[in-house]
């Protein structure tokens, strides 16, 4: 079983070294690349005001956080939830820096002792789209992910968007797989669709014409250029036509 946690944070400012603190944690669970609904969403009383620039981004006021728990009160819950998972984070050094700072202040070990490893989707995006804007909003626009509800940054919403972006960045290879188990949403009286044995059907094979082959080669050249010449097929010569 592959368990991944898409994670995002909101903070009082940009620098944990200068005393900024974590105020929100949002986590979305993927198991075998499927959303499970087992999410974790927490707010924290940081004991300090947010910088005005940060407040404009997330809109989380000190008054709202006044009755929320301190981070150290929730460490055990967070640690248990993240245990053994692969983290997916956009601009991972920022979020990990704040999380590790909070753990350090609570005299706890760093996060690397809890999780399996970390995937930084910003690094992935820069490799796939060099020279382009690769913020979360830009990736949502580029990959067709609906972010119309994102008027302010929020850790849980951003994690949900990033989960969709990550599936698209990794080509969504499991997106079309359907469970063989009957759906829980199938209610009494629903129309049953009979199964069809596809083994009895012989599909015609349509060969690509010269124009289509040329277009295919153009796509391969573009992929080769965008990857910096690191495509897997380099070094392999095409087989001679029969």
Within 8 A by CB and 6+ apart from 91, the residues are 120, 122
DSSP category for residue 206: -
> What is d(CA 90, CA 120) in angstroms, rounded to the nearest whole number?
5
Among the options 51, 58, 153, 234, which is catalytic? 153
Would you give the distance in Å from CA 143 to the centre of its chain? 13
Residue tagged 């979305």 (tokens): 28
41 part of the active site: no
Within 8 A by CB and 6+ apart from 46, the residues are 12, 21, 22, 23, 65, 71
> What is d(CA 50, CA 151) in angstroms, rounded to the nearest whole number?
18
Q: Would you name the residues annotated as active-site residues?
A: 153
């Amino acid at each position: 079983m592959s368990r991944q946690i898409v994670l995002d944070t909101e903070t009082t400012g940009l620098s944990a070294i200068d005393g900024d603190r974590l105020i929100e944690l949002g986590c979305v669970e993927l198991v075998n690349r499927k959303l499970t609904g087992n999410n974790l969403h927490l707010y924290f009383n940081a004991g300090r005001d947010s910088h005005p620039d940060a407040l404009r981004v997330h809109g989380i006021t000190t008054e709202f956080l006044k009755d929320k728990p301190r981070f150290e009160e929730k460490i055990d819950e967070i640690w248990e939830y993240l245990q053994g998972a692969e983290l997916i984070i956009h601009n991972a050094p920022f979020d990990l820096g704040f999380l590790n700072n909070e753990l350090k202040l609570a005299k706890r070990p760093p996060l690397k002792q809890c999780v399996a490893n970390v995937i930084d989707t910003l690094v992935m995006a820069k490799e796939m789209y060099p020279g382009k804007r690769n913020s979360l909003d830009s990736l949502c626009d580029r990959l067709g992910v609906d972010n119309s509800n994102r008027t302010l940054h929020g850790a849980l919403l951003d994690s949900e968007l990033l989960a969709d972006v990550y599936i698209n960045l990794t080509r969504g290879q499991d997106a079309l797989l359907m469970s063989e188990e009957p759906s829980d949403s199938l209610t009494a009286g629903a129309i049953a669709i009979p199964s069809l044995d596809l083994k009895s059907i012989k599909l015609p094979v349509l060969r690509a014409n010269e124009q289509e082959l040329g277009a295919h080669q153009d796509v391969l050249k573009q992929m080769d250029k965008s990857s910096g010449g690191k495509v897997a097929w380099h070094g392999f010569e095409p087989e001679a036509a029969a």
